[in-house]
């Protein structure tokens, strides 16, 4: 017998990530007409996820012009971060208080944000509306933060529980953190209105709460500026805020892991201390983020022609999602609420058993929560999808 320590045997087994497991299950299904509305990946009307033309063009430039692969610093690609800052915030007057860095995807940004919070206030409480992206919970709990849940959405009535959000803010303690999604809520597709963002921002400022925003779908809801509106309102109102940003969907860079974390501090001196902590944490986690996706985004955002091409492609995606939403609502009034929701996701009031029957008997793959990735549907598959849903509900 090997008498070595056996330390790792103290570990409890972990279930594989249920959402990502759908990728393998779908691939292993050979039934014709199978439908993938599971993992949040955009698909065209022909069911593919091609590389953006603008990204391909930027990659060609990179291949020709990139002269070195030598290290960048823990802040990553500075040109990328600067261009992205303009895209997210436009021109604001808090520029001297805003710092941040490139991260490996939005997940890396969320992880860094959670670690920064834990460093500033170990065991800090964070308000999280349910349902939310399941990985939010894993990221936050493994960083030692205490999660305080409140109900954000009611699936049966397909409505936002705004009063519950406001009560949660009222009951929060000074120094608590509030996780909010900037737009295209994952998994429910319902966002705050401009008036609601103003109320929330004001309340967070009054009560001394730190907003942690997650913006992973800018441009896929109502447009680039409209989708950043809530973020801009919050950053205009509060003294301190964090924003985790992902380029996975709006630049189609999924596996390139391209994102950023923005931090707003109360003054320029505090901003420089915040930044030094972010750089230290980044160095301890991944030393520096992968460059390729960020370098491509930088080339796109620094070129008027490539920016135009990218925006045009993004608008086509956004319009296609709206078409799918309208198509489902036209097919069956049960989907009527989908019309006014936005982004790739909506959530149906289905239980895990109904979701399993959909998968086993109808070859429809969706998250166990009843979340549907509408960008996985086409005009043809929408009809099949509506029929399958009618059969199980």
Q: Is the Cβ of residue 176 or residue 214 nearer to ligand LMR in the bound state?
A: 214
How near is the Cβ of 38 to ligand LMR at its closest, in Å? 7
How many residues of this chain interact with ligand LMR, rule: CB under 6 A?
6
249 labelled catalytic: yes
Contact positions with ligand LMR (CB under 6 A) in 99-118: none
In the bound state with ligand LMR, the residue whose beta carbon lies nearer, of 114 and 209, is 114
Place of tokens 């103290």: 10
d(CA 70, CA 361): 52
Tell me if 220 contacts ligand LMR by CB under 6 A.
no
- Told to check if 366 binds ligand LMR by CB under 6 A, we report no
Residue for token digits 């992880």?
111
By C-beta, is 179 or 204 nearer to ligand LMR? Answer: 179
Would you call 133 a catalytic residue per the annotation?
yes
**Residue closer to ligand LMR, measured from CB, 83 or 186:** 186
The β-bridge relationship of strands 146-151 and 125-130 is parallel
User: Judged by CB, which is closer to ligand LMR: 235, or 245?
Assistant: 245
Exposure string for 362-393, b = 16+ CB within 10 A, e = fewer: bbbbbbbbbbbbbbbbbeebbebbbebbeebe
**Which candidate in 249, 271, 310, 363 is catalytic?**
249
Pick the closest to residue 148 from 133, 164, 128 (CA basis).
Answer: 128
Helices (H), the chain: 18-27, 53-65, 78-89, 105-120, 134-142, 162-171, 194-207, 224-237, 268-285, 292-302, 304-331, 352-362, 379-392
Q: Which of 36, 214, 227, 248 is catalytic?
A: 214
Shortest reach from residue 39's CB to ligand LMR, in Å: 4
Instruction: Answer yes or no: 216 catalytic.
Output: yes
Q: Is 370 in the site for ligand LMR (CB under 6 A)?
A: no
- Residue placing its CB nearer to ligand LMR in the complex, 215 or 306: 215
Site for ligand LMR in 184-213 (CB under 6 A): 186
**How far, in Å, CA of 317 to CA of 26, rounded?**
23
Nearest Cα neighbor of 86 from 257, 225, 185, 223 is 225
Q: Does 19 bind ligand LMR (CB under 6 A)?
A: yes
For the bound state, the minimum distance from the C-beta of residue 133 to ligand LMR, rounded and expressed in Å, comes to 5
Which residue has the closest beta carbon to ligand LMR?
Answer: 40
Please choose, from the candidates 225, 235, 259, the residue with its C-alpha nearest in 3D space to the C-alpha of residue 245: 259
In the residue annotation, 197 being an active-site residue is answered as no
Catalytic option among 36, 54, 109, 133 = 133
With a CB cutoff of 8 Å and minimum separation 6, the contacts of 102 are 75, 76, 77, 80, 81, 258, 259, 260, 289, 294
Does residue number 217 form part of the binding site for ligand LMR (CB under 6 A)?
no
39 binds ligand LMR (CB under 6 A): yes
Q: How many CB atoms lie within 10 A of CB 139?
A: 22
The runs of H, that is alpha helices, within 3-155 are: 18-27, 53-65, 78-89, 105-120, 134-142
Which residue of 26, 35, 40, 363 would you call a contact of ligand LMR, by CB under 6 A?
40
Q: Which is nearer to ligand LMR, 74 or 259 (CB)?
A: 259
Q: Contacting ligand LMR (CB under 6 A), which of 133, 235, 251, 310?
A: 133
User: Among residues 216, 363, 382, 388, which one is catalytic?
Assistant: 216
Residue with tokens 């805003």: 98
- DSSP, res 4: S
In the complex, the smallest distance separating the C-beta of residue 285 from ligand LMR, rounded to whole angstroms, is: 18
Beta strand 210-215 with 241-246: parallel, antiparallel or unpaired?
parallel
Among 23, 61, 130, 135, binds ligand LMR (CB under 6 A): 135
30 CB-contact burial (10 Å; exposed 0-12 / middle 13-18 / buried 19+): exposed
Binding stretches for ligand LMR (CB under 6 A): 19, 39-40, 133, 135, 186
The residues annotated as belonging to the active site are: 133, 214, 216, 249
């Amino acid at each position: 017998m090997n008498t070595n320590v056996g330390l790792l045997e103290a570990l409890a087994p972990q279930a594989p990530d249920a959402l990502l497991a759908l990728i393998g299950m779908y691939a292993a299904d050979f039934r014709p007409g199978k439908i993938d509305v599971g993992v949040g990946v955009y698909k065209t009307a022909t069911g593919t996820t091609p590389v953006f033309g603008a990204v391909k063009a930027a990659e060609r430039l990179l291949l020709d012009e990139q002269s070195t692969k030598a290290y960048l610093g823990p802040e990553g690609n500075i040109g990328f971060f600067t261009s992205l800052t303009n895209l997210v915030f436009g021109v604001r007057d808090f520029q001297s208080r805003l710092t941040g860095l490139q991260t490996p995807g939005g997940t890396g940004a969320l992880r860094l944000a959670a670690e920064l919070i834990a460093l500033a206030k170990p065991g800090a409480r964070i308000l999280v509306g349910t349902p939310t992206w399941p990985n939010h919970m894993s990221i936050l709990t493994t960083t030692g933060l205490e999660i305080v849940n409140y109900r954000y959405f009611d699936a049966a009535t397909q409505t936002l529980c705004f009063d519950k959000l406001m009560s949660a803010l009222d009951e929060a303690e000074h120094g608590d953190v509030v996780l909010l999604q900037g737009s295209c809520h994952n998994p429910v597709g319902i966002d705050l209105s401009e008036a609601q963002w103003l109320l929330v921002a004001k309340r967070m400022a009054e009560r001394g709460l730190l907003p942690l925003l997650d913006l992973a779908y800018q441009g896929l809801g109502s447009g680039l500026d409209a989708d950043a509106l809530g973020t801009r309102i919050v950053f205009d109102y509060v003294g301190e805020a964090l924003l985790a940003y992902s380029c996975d969907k709006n630049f189609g860079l999924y596996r390139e892991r391209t994102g950023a974390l923005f931090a707003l501090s109360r003054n320029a001196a505090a901003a420089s201390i915040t930044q030094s902590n972010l750089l230290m944490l980044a160095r301890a986690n991944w030393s520096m983020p992968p460059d390729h996706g960020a370098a491509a985004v930088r080339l796109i955002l620094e070129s008027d022609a490539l920016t135009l091409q990218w925006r045009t492609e993004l608008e086509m995606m956004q319009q296609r999602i709206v078409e799918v939403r309208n198509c489902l609502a036209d097919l069956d009034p049960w989907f009527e609420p989908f019309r006014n929701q936005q982004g790739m996701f909506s959530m149906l009031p289905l239980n895990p058993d109904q979701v399993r029957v959909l998968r086993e008997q109808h070859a429809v793959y969706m998250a166990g929560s009843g979340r549907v990735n509408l960008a996985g549907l086409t005009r043809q598959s929408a009809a099949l999808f509506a029929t399958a849903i009618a059969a199980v509900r």
